[in-house]
Structure 1
Amino acid sequence: MSLIKVANLTFAHDGSFDHIFENVSFQIDTDWKLGFTGRNGRGKTTFLNLLLGKYEYSGTISAAVSFEYFPFHVDNKEHHTLDVINEMIPDYQNWQLMRELSLLQVSEDVLYRPFATLSNGEQTKVLLAALFLKENSFLLIDEPTNHLDMAARKLVSDYLGTKSGFILVSHDRAFLDNCVDHILSINKTNIDIQKGNFSDWWENKKRQDHFELAENEKLKKDIKRLSDAARRTSIWSHEVEKTKNGTRNSGSKVDKGYIGHKAAKMMKRSKAIEQRQQAAIEERSRLLKNIETADSLKITQLPYHKNQLAELKDVSIYYGKKLVCSDVSFTIEQGERIALSGKNGSGKTSILKLLCGENIDYTGTFNKGSQLKISYVSQDTSHLQGNLKDYARMNGIDESLFKSLLRKLDFSRDQFEKDMAAFSGGQKKKVLIAKSLSENVHLHIWDEPLNFIDVISRMQIEELLLEYAPTILFVEHDSEFCKTIATKTIEL
């Protein structure tokens, strides 16, 4: 066991006036299985890069271990997988590699295939197995689930649960719950470490949020009381001061010294109350510091003139002569939220593209309602560039609604002026989702919409879909999202 010590860490990107981290201090035990969570753009990947020594910073980061980053960059993907591993880790025993691959249910034959021919899931498993062979290394695992189907996620999560000595960035709640024993969270104003899994952290956070909200209500009442008292005292002191030049009711001369002293005393009391009021206001500003705004989002969906929007009956899809999926049958009716499930390569995306009108070779019966309007969210975000205003205009959506949705998904106003090409992966996916929700359509079709999107935003989107019940067909490997949202599941 050793400690990674972070002391007074301060960092801002070149040209930026805003610090991502400011005087941050904490310690990490190298035996921990540490889950890393926080809103998109808060600095999770930046912190990993600071540990790797990629940026200059003020403060100190000290550690008796070396850091290894996942996903490891492979320069020569045409090389056999075994050669790729040997380039990464020159000194290991073959039996150790076989043990790791066996735990991840990866067959030995992948070692003798070019790395580029492995599926995304196989590449993920091979690189994880290889990196855990490194001794005296602390792994920085950055979103390993994005290319894994639900079964593979469970397998990799079980595998990580047998290990220790890593930071895991993931937005999949079930994945985190299964394999971490501490949570490192980047909040609005600080970095916090708690023992337990994600669900433990979330329950603690909700309790803290409720406490802060209750304290805020008490404080607002106290501020009003203090403000009223200060105003009354100020009025009294001025009234007393005015009597210095008047007479008593008995007609005797006024003791100006006494009244002046009394007025000054009351004025001093008034000032003291004002100071207390100001202190209370400052205290209030420190409250609610880490409550994440998660306002519900509002959408409307066009009604369709028929209850049934589409039907597939015994549909089989082909790419050339290759059979992708066979005998798929289901209907889409208004108000349904359908999860399309299955392993990678089972044809989920092909089914979505068929429904969206792409030219797909198929057999069987496929019927889609006439003049059916569909909004499609693809996995690919690489086409996003330019500013949000022009993007809204080009896509014919209401700019104010579009930006309102993004604001509620934690976009800051300065993001609106930036080029989308510079957005993080999660921010780009939020752009596609906000665009889809701004479109007047009968059916939403989303292909892995939550990749890179932070946990709190996922929960917001869940609440939205439950509240407004749009008709949606989606592919998503986040098991908690599917369990919460889907009214039915189609297994391929």
Structure 2
Amino acid sequence: MSLINVRNLTFAYDGSYDNVFENVSFQIDTDWKLGFTGRNGRGKTTFLNLLLGKYEYSGRIDANVAFDYFPYPVEDKSRTALEIVADIHPDYVYWELLREFSLLDVSEEALDRPFDSLSSGEQTKVLLAALFLKENNFLLIDEPTNHLDMGARELVSRYLSAKSGFILVSHDRAFLDRCVDHVLSINRATIEIQQGNFSSWMENKSRQDHYELAENDKLRKDIKRLNEAAARTSQWSDEVEKTKIGHGVPDRGYVGHKAAKMMKRSKAIENRQQSAAAEKEKLLRNVDSMESLKIGQMRYHKHQLAELDRVSIFYGDRKVCENVGFRIEQGDRIAIRGNNGAGKSSVLKLLLGEEIKHEGEVRRGSQLRISYVSQDTSHLRGNLSAYAREHDIDESLFKAILRKLDFSRTQFEKDMADFSGGQKKKVLIARSLSEKAHLYVWDEPLNFIDVLSRMQIEELLVQHAPTIVFVEHDREFHERVATKIVEL
């Protein structure tokens, strides 16, 4: 066991006026299984990069361990998986690698295949196995679940629960619960570490937020009272000043002297009141707001919106799924489930009317308006105002939804290409929520999106009950949102 000591850490990106971290201090035990959580854009990946020595900072990070990062950057994916393993850990022992593979349900045959021929889930497992073979290293695992289906997530979480000595960035609540014993959270104004899994951290946070919201109400009342008192004092001093120039005043010198003394006194009182109000404002608490979202849903003129009837989908000559059939009726929230490569995204694209090689019937209602969220965010460039105009949506509503999803106003001025992965997905979701549509089709909408935003989106879908078909591997999201499940 050793410790990672972070003392008075302060960091800002070049050209930015805002610090990502400011005088942050905490301590991490290298035996911990540490879950790392916080809103998108708060600096989780930045902190991992600081541990890796990628940026200059002020303060100190003292650690007697070597750090490794997941996902390991694979430059030439045409090489075999075994060659990639050798790059990561030249001194690996073959039987130990096979032991890790068996725990992760990866076949030995995968080692001889080109890395890019492996599925995304297999690539994730190969990299994790190779990195955990390196003893005495502290592993920084950055969002490993984004390319894992539900079954693979459960398998990898069991694998990680048997390991120790890592920081895990993930927004999948069930995944975190299964494999961490401490939680490091970047809050609105603090960084905290708690013992326990994600659920115990969330319970404590909810309790603390409830207390701090009550304290906020008291502070706001005090601030309002002090500001009103300062305004009355200012008005009083103005009234005193006016007495110097009234008609019939026998001795303006005396009155002026008296008024000046009273003016000075009232200004001192006013300054004290304003200063007290400012100090109270600094105490407003460290609560992450979770405001309710809105959706631009329209009611379709028929009860049934679309139907797939005995559909089989082909990738080239290979049939990936067959006899898929389901109806989409008003108010349905349908989850499409299946392993990676089972054709989930292709089913969604058929609903959108895209040309996908298939057999069977796809029937869509006339004049059906569909809003689509894709997995891909690489096309996002330029500013948010231009994006809103391009998609013919209400810019004010679009930006209001982003604000509720924890976008700061400074983000509105930035190029979307510079947003974090989670912020880009929020742009796609906010655009979809702003569109007038009968049916929402979302393909893995929660990739990279923080836990609190996921909970806001869940609440929206349950409360407003739009008709939606989605692919998503977050088990909690499935259980809370889906009214029907289609298994491929």
| Paired position in structure 2 for 1:298 | 294
Superposition deviation, residue 215 in structure 1 = 1.4
1: CA distance between counterparts of 2:313 and 2:219?
63
Shift of the 269–375 alpha-carbon distance from structure 1 to 2, 3 Å rule, reads: same
| Paired position in structure 2 for 1:46 | 46
2: CA distance between counterparts of 1:86 and 1:466?
48
Give CA deviations for 1:251-310 in whole Å, capped at 9, x if unaligned: xxxxxxxxxxxx9xx999989986875565345323443211221111231111100001
| Paired position in structure 2 for 1:86 | 86
Structure 2 length-normalised TM: 0.91
Say which is worse superposed, 134-143 or 85-94, in terms of deviation.
85-94
Select which of 318, 325, 331 maps to 2:327: 331
1: CA distance between counterparts of 2:387 and 2:232?
56
Cα contact 1:226–1:273 (8 A) shared by 2? no
1: CA distance between counterparts of 2:221 and 2:385?
42
2: CA distance between counterparts of 1:97 and 1:442?
51
Say which is worse superposed, 273-282 or 195-204, in terms of deviation.
273-282
1: CA distance between counterparts of 2:152 and 2:220?
50
Say which is worse superposed, 393-402 or 132-141, in terms of deviation.
393-402
2: CA distance between counterparts of 1:221 and 1:397?
38
Give the 5 Å matches for 1:87-236: 87-223=87-223
SS of the counterpart of 1:386?
coil
Match for 1:75: what amino acid? E
Cα contact 2:174–2:475 (8 A) shared by 1? yes
Shift of the 229–278 alpha-carbon distance from structure 1 to 2, 3 Å rule, reads: closer
Superposition deviation, residue 80 in structure 1 = 1.6
2: CA distance between counterparts of 1:227 and 1:373?
51
The alignment's C-alpha RMSD in Å is 2.6
Match for 1:194: what amino acid? Q
| Paired position in structure 2 for 1:371 | 367
| Paired position in structure 2 for 1:381 | 377
| Paired position in structure 2 for 1:34 | 34
Give CA deviations for 1:159-189 in whole Å, capped at 9, x if unaligned: 1000100000001011111100111111112
Shift of the 280–349 alpha-carbon distance from structure 1 to 2, 3 Å rule, reads: same
2: CA distance between counterparts of 1:318 and 1:183?
44
| Paired position in structure 1 for 2:482 | 486
Superposition deviation, residue 369 in structure 1 = 0.6
2: CA distance between counterparts of 1:18 and 1:152?
39
Superposition deviation, residue 219 in structure 1 = 3.2
SS of the counterpart of 2:144?
coil
2: CA distance between counterparts of 1:419 and 1:268?
50
| Paired position in structure 1 for 2:69 | 69
Task: List gaps (5 residues or longer) in structure 1.
Answer: 241-262
2: CA distance between counterparts of 1:388 and 1:234?
43
Cα contact 1:223–1:277 (8 A) shared by 2? no
SS of the counterpart of 2:368?
coil
SS of the counterpart of 1:397?
coil
Select which of 372, 384, 390 maps to 1:394: 390
SS of the counterpart of 2:82?
helix
1: CA distance between counterparts of 2:125 and 2:433?
35
| Paired position in structure 2 for 1:254 | none
Cα contact 2:223–2:281 (8 A) shared by 1? no
Say which is worse superposed, 311-320 or 37-46, in terms of deviation.
311-320
Give the 5 Å matches for 1:250-399: 277=273, 281-399=277-395
Shift of the 226–321 alpha-carbon distance from structure 1 to 2, 3 Å rule, reads: closer
Structure 1 length-normalised TM: 0.90
2: CA distance between counterparts of 1:398 and 1:135?
54
Say which is worse superposed, 14-23 or 291-300, in terms of deviation.
291-300
Cα contact 2:219–2:281 (8 A) shared by 1? no
Give the 5 Å matches for 1:437-456: 437-456=433-452
Aligned-residue identity in percent: 72
Superposition deviation, residue 223 in structure 1 = 5.0
SS of the counterpart of 1:204?
helix
Shift of the 193–394 alpha-carbon distance from structure 1 to 2, 3 Å rule, reads: same
| Paired position in structure 2 for 1:433 | 429
2: CA distance between counterparts of 1:283 and 1:148?
48
Superposition deviation, residue 230 in structure 1 = 8.1
Cα contact 1:229–1:273 (8 A) shared by 2? no
| Paired position in structure 2 for 1:418 | 414
SS of the counterpart of 2:100?
helix
Match for 1:53: what amino acid? G
Number of residue pairs the alignment of both structures matches: 474
1: CA distance between counterparts of 2:201 and 2:462?
24
Superposition deviation, residue 63 in structure 1 = 0.5
Cα contact 2:184–2:194 (8 A) shared by 1? yes
1: CA distance between counterparts of 2:227 and 2:372?
54
2: CA distance between counterparts of 1:143 and 1:332?
32
1: CA distance between counterparts of 2:366 and 2:233?
74
Shift of the 432–94 alpha-carbon distance from structure 1 to 2, 3 Å rule, reads: same
1: CA distance between counterparts of 2:55 and 2:299?
52
SS of the counterpart of 1:489?
strand
Cα contact 1:171–1:454 (8 A) shared by 2? yes
Superposition deviation, residue 218 in structure 1 = 2.6
| Paired position in structure 1 for 2:473 | 477
| Structure with max Cα Rg | 1
Shift of the 367–96 alpha-carbon distance from structure 1 to 2, 3 Å rule, reads: same
